[in-house]
Structure 1
């Protein structure tokens, strides 16, 4: 799929989302998430359906096609487009690489709402960490260690929540989670409610 094909797929998804939108839901989303994003008013089910339909329409998408399409969807600050990018990455998580964390970091820095940050952290980054091995896993862990010490609260939240899938499945790494919390404590002079909430959630799943 070339650049024109990626743009066509993004337009197909965008049109699907707008077709499924309502102004009542758009207003509800704005009340819930704030005015920093635009809202079509499409439901989560409609977002997931748009990605399924795109997969049927463009069945030959490669790893590079998926990541380029995710970026194309994310480029416009529309909540439903960005949620569609998250769902797309969730659907392709088995093919994602540690090098994709750079792109995902950009998404996290501009997400600003838990309903985008959390599925990226848990279902994309956390799932990747469970699958990667060897040097790829070590490089991914190094990226998360940097996120834990970042000045961006949403990156710190993501660094915490990325541990959640492993603890939910009984394979959590206690020492790695403690290192994440220590790194956060080193930069977080004023307690961030977004990060503290994430720590409490992972601890409720068995983390120390």
Structure 2
């Protein structure tokens, strides 16, 4: 585990509450594990990580997002989304493959919708030329995919 991921994970665990964890698991009806950290604590943890590890490059941001996402814990996955939201200006059309994997694995609107609205839509919206053409082709493919989260994301991106 990278130092940044270890910092985020440890902080989220420390912010957690077992009663909140069980309540959120029940409310969302998810098979993910939960630490019980609030959304505000997750956002604050990513802000703190940005101060602790300033100037993360594109590759470091995407690697950290994957590292966070790979463990099936809601707060870690939401932290990955917040990290991508905070660094969307670094992302390129080639990152849609990673985002697609996250969306296929999300299975919750609480994860998929911010990935769609706050990561994918602004990412695609600022592209031009060949990168935009390739991104549009990916979104078109998502619109026809059997996965409901990809179709939902394609619809949200097209609303822009």
Aligned equivalents of 1:85, 1:35: Cα separation in 2: 18
Asked if the contact 1:122/1:163 (under 8 Å) is kept, the reply is: no
Q: Gaps spanning 5+ residues in structure 2: where? A: none
CA RMSD of aligned residues (A): 1.0
Aligned equivalents of 2:40, 2:158: Cα separation in 1: 26
Equivalent residues in 2 for 1:90-169, closer than 5 Å? 90-164=85-159, 166=160
Q: By how many angstroms is 1:15 displaced? A: 0.5
Between the two structures, name the one with larger relative contact order (CA 8 Å, sep ≥ 6).
2
Tell me the alpha carbon deviations over residues 60-80 of structure 1, each in whole angstroms, 9 at most, x when there is no partner. 210000000000000000000
Tell me the alpha carbon deviations over residues 61-114 of structure 1, each in whole angstroms, 9 at most, x when there is no partner. 100000000000000000000000000000000110000000000000000000
Q: By how many angstroms is 1:35 displaced? A: 3.8
Counterpart of 1:46 in structure 2 is 41
1:83 aligns with 2:78: yes
Asked if the contact 2:28/2:108 (under 8 Å) is kept, the reply is: yes
Aligned equivalents of 1:117, 1:32: Cα separation in 2: 16
SS in structure 2 of the partner of residue 14 of structure 1 = helix
Aligned residues: 160
Asked if the contact 1:73/1:82 (under 8 Å) is kept, the reply is: yes
**TM-score after normalising by structure 2:** 0.97
Aligned equivalents of 2:147, 2:118: Cα separation in 1: 20
Asked if the contact 1:22/1:42 (under 8 Å) is kept, the reply is: yes
Q: Which runs of 4+ in 1 moved over 2 A?
A: none
SS in structure 2 of the partner of residue 162 of structure 1 = helix
Counterpart of 1:34 in structure 2 is 29
Aligned equivalents of 2:158, 2:86: Cα separation in 1: 20
Counterpart of 1:21 in structure 2 is 16
